Amino acid sequence: MTNKNDFVSKELVKTLAYTTAKQNRDVYSEVVINGRKYIKTGTLQVVTVVCNVWKVFNKETNLYEYQALFGLAKQHPEDIKINKELAYEIANTNSFVNPFIKMQVNKRFGENTFRDMIRAYINDMDLEYIKTKEEIMLTNSSK
């Protein structure tokens, strides 16, 4: 099957970005240790998504279409400090080389639709707690 879209002459229409970096990511969960139940509290990883919308030519219909490619960056559990610039860079790069969503959108696809989609997607992700300094030292000393 041949690709109907010509990405060689694509045109970047817009770039949309979303991050959970400034949101309250504090959560708790119930854990069982040695038969006892405890409440574990902590902060979840930061998730950053970049969406690049491209205008591409469809060779079958001889019309232009809009394609959205979404890239994701997720904070490593051992990264205590948040680097928003690096997260945006990784998510943007992933939108080119490893998009996690590829979809055809209309010309009006914009910030509100993007944010609604990504909020729902992130809310359904299995995220890890950011490790404490003590947890990181224990992990590194056991290696």
pLDDT at 140: 81
Q: How far is the C-alpha of 133 from the C-alpha of 113, rounded, in Å?
A: 38
Question: Looking at 15-24, 55-64, 109-118, which range is the least confident one?
Answer: 55-64
Mean pLDDT computed over every residue of the chain: 92
**Could you tell me where the beta strands, DSSP code E, fall in 20-133?**
26-33, 36-43, 47-58, 63-74, 101-105
Q: Please give the average per-residue pLDDT across 86-103, as a whole number.
A: 97
Q: How far is the C-alpha of 123 from the C-alpha of 49, rounded, in Å?
A: 13
pTM of this prediction exceeds 0.85: yes
- Report which DSSP code applies to 46: P
Q: How far is the C-alpha of 143 from the C-alpha of 140, rounded, in Å?
A: 5
The SS3 call for residue 65 is: strand
Using the predicted structure, report yes or no on whether residue 17 has a pLDDT greater than 60: yes
